[in-house]
Chain A
Amino acid sequence: MTNKVKIALLLLLPIPVLLGSLFIGPSVAVAPGRVIAWLAMRLGLTPADGSPAATMVQLVIEDVRGPRVLLAFLVGGSLSIAGVALQAMFRNPLVSSYILGLQSGTAFGAALALCTAWLPVQLSAFVFGLLAVFTSFFLARKDGKISSVTLILSGIVVTGIFTALLTIVQVLTDPFKLQAVVHWTMGNLHTASWAKLRTTWWLMAMGIGGLFFFRWRMNVLALGDDETRAVGLNPERQKAWLLLFSTLAASAAVSVAGVIGMVGLVIPHMVRMLIGADNKMAVPVCFTFGGAFLVLVDNISRTVVTFEIPIGIFTTLIGGPFFILLLKKAKIGWELE
């Protein structure tokens, strides 16, 4: 299979995955035949069936499965595309947005909102996620320059601080709210709704769109700061743009879906192994493949057992061993120095 065919297949992957996922769910009443009937009705092939059963099917597909599948897709795509951008700009394939404090920042923001009701949960999570990443960024900045090592170090410090703050909130709050906080941090696609999509899709889209424009420049940045400056791009300025867009996308994704681990780290690796490192193609493929991946994982998490496994736990359980396998076995084309 040539690379072009592979890329085309990966870019088209979301179509069958998204459609197919509408068939999957714990609701026994919504049998595959019903979904096909709904699809035919929606495509205008058959007239609308006003029966209560058909109405229920329509409700499940359009208001439960539809938004959930779309949200999972956007969240998976956002985390993956942010991951590939950050890995390029830090010249470090072990980086994802969580290393800059995003995870702990959003978790603290969500916990604060859940326990105090001062702010909407999503908004608070999003704002504190941005705050955490930009704090890491400005702490690491010295004389207008950002070294990757200091940025990762300041990310660790910021993560530590927000984790400590999160613990304080958890200690002070009552057990019921504590449970909500714990559930939030495990990832929560099951609360997906059109309202959640409406408030976040455009933030994710802005981040994704920006990264799409900058995708070839990621190739330049991935060669190093001096190598970037030598061909006429200011590496600090390029990094600031990439950081802004990837944080927008990832922070919006985490604010709506909770902490979903490993996707931003593992998907870029899988994509590079499948189609090569050129970000001109790897960036769009990371979006479609990462989105489709999370939709598939979510399908498993809501059908495999009678209760729902939190999606964040599931991605980490799948992604963790896979990543270790990558480190040990596979030829991934880079070495830790």
Chain B
Amino acid sequence: MKMKNHDSAMAIHISNLSYRYGNQAVLEHIDVDIAAGRFTVVLGKNGCGKSTLFRLIAGFLKSNDGEISLFGRSIATFSDRERARILGFLPQHHRPVFPFTVLDVVLTGRAGHVQFTPKEEDRLLAHQALVRIGITALERRLFTELSGGEQQLVMLARILAQKPQIILLDEPISHLDFAYQAKVMNIIGELVRENITVVAILHDPNIAALYGDDFLCLKDGRLIDGYDRRQLPSEVLEKVYGIKLTVIQFAEKNLVMPTRKVDHAVDD
């Protein structure tokens, strides 16, 4: 078992990253290192550039400026297949069309490894991924007939079948009920303990505080600076969301609730 190294190993290095869509600046001068084997949470209001940042890291978009590297290697030098063997990406809410079985869906995670059709070992890895998530009972069920929570667990198994070292999750729990939210977050925790680097966009700052190791806060395309990224101070959250917050102390963590008078906005 590898020791968890908090400081030296950088999974993702981003320097001076900017992205414009037409004349609209979506991200400006992002500089950040994301530590390997830790769970980094990205917070921010809708439209602040979180998803764009993920799509740039995942190689779906090309930046106008700046540099992204995975374990020291620039993403520009990766082929799609090479990148998929290191980096798994869960896009926002998947909508299935065809009634594939769960195993067939998980098996597609092997696409970056196989030539044209998967082999027996790929089926085995897909099965292991289902075991790992604890959903072997669903193996032969139809993906289209599962609940939203079950579907999300299957999509996580698909990423595990991909065998990546870094996993990006874009709002993995936004459409799930309370129980499945906890289930997904606990699975993420286990993956991080196995030294996988997980970066997730979350909307709930309390779930972020309870499970996250490091916190990145985006506002209007820029990272908020000037705080210890291992903490999630309520002042920073007030700045991120532009609302007044009440702090509750729990288990040595600061949890927050919106202060009840909604129109009492903090000045930017």
Residues of B within 8 A of A280 (CB): 117
In the assembled complex, the CB of B73 is this many whole angstroms from the nearest CB of chain A, namely 16
Which residues of chain A come closer than 8 Å to B109, judged between CB atoms?
Answer: 231
A272 vs B145: C-alpha distance when bound (angstroms): 15
A116 interface contact, C-beta 8 A: no
SS of A interface (majority): loop
A23 within 8 A of B: no
Question: In the complex, how many residue pairs between chain A and chain B have their CB atoms under 8 Å apart?
Answer: 97
Q: B88: CB under 8 A from chain A?
A: yes
B144, A219: Cβ atoms under 8 Å? no
- In the complex, residue of chain B having the shortest beta-carbon distance to the beta carbon of A229: B60
Binds A, one of B90-98, B182-190, B209-217, B234-242: B90-98
Contact of B108 among A93, A214, A219, A229 (CB under 8 A): A219
Give CA–CA (A220, B113) in the complex, Å. 13
B85: interface (CB < 8 Å): yes
Contacts of B112 in A (CB 8 A): 231-233
Main SS class of interface, B: mixed
Is B197's beta carbon under 8 Å from chain A?
A: no
Most buried by B among A91, A228, A232, A280: A232
Q: Is the CB of B96 within 8 A of A223?
A: yes
CB contacts (< 8 Å) of B145 on chain A: these are 333
A217 touches B116 (CB 8 A): yes
Q: How far is the CB of A152 from chain B (nearest CB, A)?
A: 14
CB <8 Å contact, B80 and A226: no
Which 4 A-B residue pairings sit nearest by Cβ, starting from the closest?
A: A232-B112, A232-B84, A333-B99, A226-B91
Note all chain B residues with C-beta closer than 8 A to A278. Answer: 100-101, 104
Q: How many residues of A contact B (CB 8 A)?
A: 32
- The docked-state distance in angstroms from the alpha carbon of A220 to that of B114 is 12
Q: Is A213 interfacial (CB-CB < 8 Å)? A: yes
Q: Is the CB of B98 within 8 A of A93?
A: yes
Bound CA span A215–B114, Å: 13
Answer whether residue A319 sits at the interface, using C-beta atoms and an 8 A cutoff: no
- Asked if A277 contacts B108 (CB within 8 A), the reply is no
Q: How far is the CB of B34 from chain A (nearest CB, A)?
A: 18
- Selected contact of B98 from candidates A88, A226, A229, CB within 8 Å: A88
State whether B104 touches A93 (Cβ < 8 A): no
B222 within 8 A of A: no
A222–B98 Cα distance when bound, in Å, is: 7
In the assembled complex, B258 has its CB within 8 A of some CB on chain A: no
B99→A226 contact, CB < 8 A:
no
Q: By the criterion CB–CB under 8 Å, are B90 and A230 in contact?
A: yes
Question: How many angstroms between the C-alpha atoms of A334 and B95 in the bound complex?
Answer: 10
Q: Is A234 an interface residue (CB 8 A)?
A: yes
Chain B residues lying within 8 Å of A222, measured Cβ to Cβ, are 97-98, 100
Distance in angstroms between the alpha carbons of A276 and B152 in the assembled complex: 22
Binary flags per residue of A216-250, CB closer than 8 Å to B gives 1, else 0: 11011011101111111110000000000000000
Contact A277 B111 (CB under 8 A): no
> B60 — which chain A residues lie within 8 A by C-beta?
226, 229
| A55 contacts partner chain B, Cβ-Cβ < 8 Å | no
- Report the count of interface residues on B (CB-CB < 8 A): 40
* Docked-complex contact B89 and A230, CB < 8 angstroms: yes
Interface string of B134-175 (1 = CB under 8 A from A): 000000001011000000000000110010000000000000
Q: Are A333 and B142 in contact (CB under 8 A)?
A: yes
CB <8 Å contact, B91 and A215:
no
Q: Is B200 an interface residue (CB 8 A)?
A: no
Whether A231 touches B118, Cβ cut-off 8 Å, given contacts A220-B111, A272-B98, is: no
Contact partner, A231, options B96, B98, B162, Cβ 8 Å: B162
Which of B83, B84, B104: most chain A CB closer than 10 A?
B104
B105 on the A face (CB < 8 A): yes
B198 at interface (Cβ–Cβ under 8 A)? no
Q: Which residues of B contact A276 (CB under 8 A)?
A: 99-101
Contact between B97 and A93, CB atoms less than 8 A apart: yes
Mind listing 25 A-B residue pairs with CB under 8 Å? A88-B98, A91-B97, A91-B98, A92-B97, A213-B116, A219-B108, A220-B111, A222-B98, A224-B94, A224-B95, A227-B108, A229-B58, A230-B58, A230-B90, A231-B108, A231-B158, A232-B84, A232-B85, A232-B111, A276-B99, A277-B99, A278-B101, A333-B98, A333-B145, A334-B144
Known: A219-B100, A277-B98, A277-B100. A232 touches B80 (CB 8 A): yes
Per-residue contact bits, chain B 41-60, to A (CB 8 Å; 1 contact, 0 not)? 00000000000000000111
Output the least CB separation between A7 and chain B (Å): 14
Q: Are A229 and B100 in contact (CB under 8 A)?
A: no
